[in-house]
Amino acid sequence: MDLISLLPDFGNLAFTVLAFVVALTIIVAVHEYGHYIVGRWSGIKADVFSIGMGPVLYSRVDKHGTKWQVASYPIGGYVKFAGDANAASGGADEEVLAELSPEERRHTMPGAPLWARTATVAAGPIFNFILSILLFGGILMWVGVGTDPLTVGKAKPLPGVEDVLQPGDEILSIAGAETPKLSEFYTFATQLPNTPVVEYRLNRDGKKVVVIGPHPFPALIGSVTPKSAAIEAGLRRDDLIETVDGNRVATFEGLRDLVVNGEGAPLTLGIYRDGERLEVTLTPRRQDLPLPEGGFETRWLIGVSPGLIFEPATRTPGVLESLEGGVDRVIYIIRSSLSGLWHMISGKISSCNLSGPIGIAQVSGQAASQGVSSFIAFIGMLSTAVGLLNLFPIPVLDGGHLVFFAYEAVTRRKPSDKVMNILLIIGLSLVLSLMVFGVTNDLFC
């Protein structure tokens, strides 16, 4: 194989790596800044704030005496506070502390009051959650939310389908069922007759009209899931799936039924894209999906979500409404993550659901390739996951430090250096084992 034939793959790899580095740098920078700024507010001096690891590429010292630096390897970052033996705050530098006055010791991490150390450590994950809330809220303000009642913004032209819906039409009911708000519309549509056409009752220019039109969810792709069979087969948003193994498909529910009933057999899809027809073959994958009421359901999936036959009219939500939506999204991710972890530990779902750095990088590249809003949403999701992971009670993680502080609050004394060192080694071993497990999943699942 010559070099020229490798260039497309190299370009995809470079794009994936770049997207992953950008996402990781933003998340780590916000996490570490949370530690830094709350530490400073609490009277703890930071010696170094580093983005990246390894040899320093650029640095400067600010008026507070903190060295801000960018290092060679964009694989993380850290804040080293005064008095810490290392960047992980894994112990005290006794030689430095011995030379300080009581007042100077107050401005070190080991010598600061318990409340100050607790607030400083907890701030990293909290800032990750805040970042996620702001990103998800920002997406809502940028993309908008559906109007009530659901209103047609722009019809999507489909082959052989007459545009019976017009911009400004308020959809009052479909097939005799009252139309809900946009966020509940897909669940509503799954209860509609699985037929190519349905009856719409509309408010058009102040008049009630009834029209017969296509099902609101034909087999039209609204989005493609990263790291899925669909994205690897090259499916795109707004592709219309007309046939599956030669069988006509009228609705997205019909497509879903064919995928599920195929039980993992390869499928040949007839696609209509930008005025052209083409065929792609893919193999559905068995995946565990979180349920709204909790728990998981295992299904055969190709990795696409449904697209409406029209673009709904939207309104720009206010700041508070957007932030509320961001909070709801973060809570949903946390609940789903904890539920998924428990179901993996108990053996109810596959451990292949746990991705390592390779899988996360792959998803970041695929999310970035689908547009800015998709990439921002990915950063918000990953930031929530990083914040949650750091709260786990594992030594070397923030949650482990918080457990040590809780022990100190109860017993009125710190754990001994010997115990701390043993626990930190155990914690580091657990984290490294988790990373190896994730990489193994990335390569072999």
* Judgement on whether residues 178 and 203 belong to the same structural domain of the protein: yes
Q: Which of 32, 170, 242, 253 is catalytic?
A: 32
Q: Is residue 246 assigned to a domain?
A: yes
Work out how many domains the chain is built from and give that number: 2
Read off the tokens for 276.
Answer: 């052209």
pTM (2 decimals)?
A: 0.87
pLDDT of residue 314: 92
Mean pLDDT of the chain: 89
In this prediction, residues 11-21 reach a mean pLDDT of: 85
Q: Is residue 426 assigned to a domain?
A: no
Please list the residues that pair with 181 across neighbouring strands. Answer: none
**By three-state DSSP, how is residue 385 classified?**
helix
| Under 8 Å between Cβ of 82 and 99 | no
b/e sequence 193-214, b meaning 16+ C-beta within 10 Å:
eeeeebebbbeeeeeeeebebb
Burial (Cβ within 10 Å: 0-12, 13-18, ≥19) of residue 3: exposed
What pLDDT, in 10s, does the model give residues 78-90?
999 998 876 666 5
* Judgement on whether residues 246 and 207 belong to the same structural domain of the protein: no
Phi first, then psi: what are they for 89, rounded to 5°?
50, 40
Sheet architecture: strand order including 197-204? 177-178, 170-174, 197-204, 207-214
Q: Integer distance in angstroms from the first to the last C-alpha of the chain?
A: 27
What pLDDT, in 10s, does the model give residues 234-293?
999 999 999 999 999 989 999 999 999 988 899 999 999 988 999 999 999 988 877 766
pLDDT of residue 296: 74
Q: Which domain holds residue 152?
A: 146-214
Round to whole Å and give the CA distance between 376 and 302: 23
Q: Is 276 tagged catalytic?
A: no
* Judgement on whether residues 174 and 233 belong to the same structural domain of the protein: no
| Under 8 Å between Cβ of 317 and 140 | yes
Q: Is residue 378 assigned to a domain?
A: no
User: Would you say residue 5 has pLDDT above 50?
Assistant: no
For residue 261, the domain's CATH number is 2.30.42.10
* Judgement on whether residues 229 and 251 belong to the same structural domain of the protein: yes
In this prediction, residues 375-388 reach a mean pLDDT of: 97
User: Would you say residue 48 has pLDDT above 90?
Assistant: yes
- Cα angle for residues 340, 343, 348 (degrees, 5° grid): 130
User: Would you say residue 6 has pLDDT above 50?
Assistant: no
In this prediction, residues 301-313 reach a mean pLDDT of: 92
What is the pLDDT confidence band of residue 3, given thresholds at 50, 70 and 90? very low
